[in-house]
Amino acid sequence: MDRLRITGGTPLHGEVTISGAKNAALPILCACLLTEEPVRLNNVPDLKDIRTMLRLLEQLGVKVQWHDSESLTLQASDITSYEAAYDLVKTMRASILVLGPLVARFGQARVSLPGGCAIGQRPVDQHIRGLAALGAQIQMTQGYVVAQSDRLQGNTVRTDMVTVTGTENLMMAAVLAQGTTVLENAAREPEIVDLANLLIKMGARIKGHGTDRIVIEGVDRLHGAEHNIISDRIEAGSFLCAVAATGGQIRLNAVEPDIMGATLDKLREAGLSLTLGEDWIEATMNGRPNSVDIRTHEYPGFATDMQAQFMALNTVATGVALIVETIFENRFMHVQELIRLGANIEVDGSTAVVRGVDTLCGATVMATDLRASASLVIAGLAAQGQTIVERIYHLDRGYAQMEHKLQSLGAQIERI
């Protein structure tokens, strides 16, 4: 099993190109099921989760043609199966995103209940209730969601909670429904806006994406399109946390600063000097960072996907930071691993108190989920001595070639 070996204590210098957004690419890949015509996607990140989703789509009968390492064409003209089986779905929760498109276009779907990171309960009941409101007949049998419908019917759907994948699934289902669908309490993430922009290119009629009320007027069919996936704001934020923790000066290329507001605000508060361009960010850190309080919230609030990375930053900062996790109830699993490196952290329920220490010391640590793995890499880069990060298959789910990008910034890191 692969591990990362990090020799910390070296400031970062240089520039790196940020990949396409995993959380935008996964639903966008599923959107190809809504048309028989080719859909070309550019800026596709090379990630384990992307490869898993493509294997799932190929099992359904989707033809996948790569043009280069970041561009591919999907065509769902000869779908042979409507089942997303457990063997793939168990590794990635985003697999549930084939449910809406399959029911909308083909009138049937059989999708295994999903797995993914063990960061908390992420039930799919909001997806199921939403599809039922659109007229789908749904049964739960032997660990599968089985849905059928002659044609979905537009309706007003208000989810009990803000759910990103739920909003995406219901939006994709509604574009082929008969009549008008209104999604109330919709998620507002940039990745949802990116999906909506592709669907509009394909002929969908959508308004309000990026707000908590999305209105979709159903159409009879969609056509092919070409789309460039947005940059990964979480990957960009992770690299910025790394330079804030280690010191140095880096430039991020192919980024979109305008969708990173809360993260950039907190990084400035930590003492990171930022210069922003249209598609680049330059960051400089001289000295030790300041502690920053964090409270996770749905977009445009502070992203839960950045909480672990900021905790790593706070372990070496001056002062005391209060971190409150409001999204997932089990997202402090990285705390014990950071403590192994010498961090001073106390947890009480959904709140962590981080007292910055002068120096972290290298040790062997274990990644427990995707963003936790990034926090351990950041802490290892800031620590004195050698750190081994085990179970980095979590990291590979969401970060493309992370060790190579860090090497280009002068970090002493290698995969072993």
Task: Pick the catalytic residue from 30, 117, 241, 361.
Answer: 117
Cα distance between residue 333 and residue 331, in whole Å:
6
Encoding tokens for residue 410? 């002068």
Choose among 205, 213, 203: nearest CA to 183.
Answer: 213
| 352 three-class SS | strand
- Interhelix angle 190-201/22-31, rounded to 10 degrees, is 30
List b or e across 45-60, with b for residues whose CB sees 16 or more CB atoms inside 10 angstroms: bebbbbebbbebbeeb
Cα separation values, 136 from 35, 39, 105, Å: 20, 26, 12
117 is an active site residue: yes
Encoding tokens for residue 180? 């008008």
Tell me the β-bridge partners of 253: 17, 280
Cα distance between residue 259 and residue 410, in whole Å:
28
Main-chain dihedrals φ then ψ at residue 282, nearest 5 degrees: -110, 135
The CB-side HSE value for 368 (13 A sphere, CA atoms) comes to 16
Q: Are 356 and 291 in contact (CB under 8 A)?
A: yes
Cα distance between residue 409 and residue 12, in whole Å:
5
Cα distance between residue 183 and residue 177, in whole Å:
13
Choose among 365, 347, 24: nearest CA to 199.
Answer: 24
Please name the amino acid found at residue 295: R
The burial of 99, by beta-carbon neighbours within 10 Å (0-12 exposed, 13-18 middle, 19 or more buried), is given as buried
Pairing between strand 63-68 and 71-75? antiparallel
In terms of residues, how long is the chain? Answer: 416
- Interhelix angle 233-246/261-269, rounded to 10 degrees, is 10
Cα separation values, 21 from 50, 69, 263, 301, Å: 10, 15, 16, 18
Handedness of CA 268, 272, 278, 279 (dihedral sign): negative
> Which residues are marked as active site?
117
